[in-house]
Amino acid sequence: SCDLCQMTFTRTSLVMDHKFRIHGNRKLFSCPECVYRADLYRHLMKHIKRKHPSIKKFNLDVNTSPLREDETPNPGLKCPECKKTAKSRSGLFNHKRMLHGAKDVKCTDCEAAFSNEPQRKFHSERTHRGKFNCSFTGCSKTFRDRWNLETHMKSHIGKKDCICSLCDYSCVQLSSLKAH
């Protein structure tokens, strides 16, 4: 899972790609054998296959380190509060700060609180993005964009801009007129 927002993924490479795209981390992937750094996991893998073919497995963390055939991953450090295991001290520190630290950053749309602005932003984008609610009394429709909401609102006020030239039929949306 992402140590910044706790979103879970099926593969470590997806976590790292997520961190790059959502949290703005750049050059997260470090080659364990040289100074090469990459923005994306697949770029690092391409580099390693080309330049260091003897490396077979990796312990992917923010700073990638090689995992040789005869090594086992570090069992990690345990969080004293929830027993979550981290692979590094920095991972444990970030986990404790994000999950168990002060949550001073409040969401403006709900009661959620976060330890930092990137977490709040991620929450807002994932949870509240695209929710345009109809304010007409008794209507609970929700739309993913403002245009659809505005079109819907016309149906409440009786504004039907699309008029059939063959009869007295009128409607809000051009698609409805074409279907007519």
The mean pLDDT value for 34-53 works out to 78
- pTM higher than 0.75 for the full model? no
DSSP readout, 105-173?
Answer: EE-SSSS-EESSHHHHHHHHHHHTTT-EE--STT---EESSHHHHHHHHHHHHT---EE-SSSS-EES-
Domain formed by 132-179, architecture = 2-Layer Sandwich (3.30)
Residue 14 reports pLDDT greater than 80: no
180: CB partners within 8 A, 6+ apart? 164, 169, 171
Band of pLDDT at residue 109, cut at 50, 70 and 90 = confident
Neighbour tally for 69: CB within 10 Å: 8
* Residue 164: per-residue pLDDT: 92
Mean pLDDT of 137-156: 80
CATH 3.30.160.60 domain position(s) in the chain: 132-179
Element (H, E) at 31: none
Above pLDDT 90, what percent of the chain?
5
The CATH architecture to which 76-129 belongs is 2-Layer Sandwich (3.30)
Q: How remote is the C-alpha of 36 from its chain's centroid?
A: 27
Is the model's pLDDT at 61 over the cut of 60? no
The topology (CATH level 3) of 1-73 is Double Stranded RNA Binding Domain (3.30.160)
| Candidate from 82-91, 103-112, 167-176 with smallest mean pLDDT | 82-91
50, amino acid identity: R
Direct distance between the N- and C-terminal alpha carbons of the chain, in angstroms, rounded to an integer: 51
